[in-house]
């Protein structure tokens, strides 16, 4: 996502599946607008 954002320089909303939802990814994409499903294994998702 970061590489894509650098190449295109557009204001966009990234849409991703639950694989995006990791601690490392969330820290890396803090400045992006995004939406994702959270993994069903999270207590909050239940």
Q: Are 32 and 11 in contact (CB under 8 A)?
A: no
pTM of the model: 0.60
Instruction: Name the β-bridge partners of 13.
Output: 33
Largest CA distance in the chain: 37
CA distances from 30 to 17, 43, 46 (A): 17, 22, 25
- Specify the DSSP element, H or E, that contains 33: strand 33-36
The tens digit of pLDDT for each residue in 4-45 reads 778 887 888 889 988 888 888 888 888 888 888 887 777 766
Place 46 in a pLDDT band, splitting at 50, 70 and 90.
Answer: low
């Amino acid at each position: 996502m970061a590489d894509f954002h650098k190449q295109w320089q557009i204001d966009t909303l990234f849409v991703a599946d639950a694989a995006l939802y990791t601690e490392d990814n969330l820290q890396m994409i803090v400045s992006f607008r995004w939406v994702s499903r959270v993994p069903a294994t999270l207590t909050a998702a239940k």
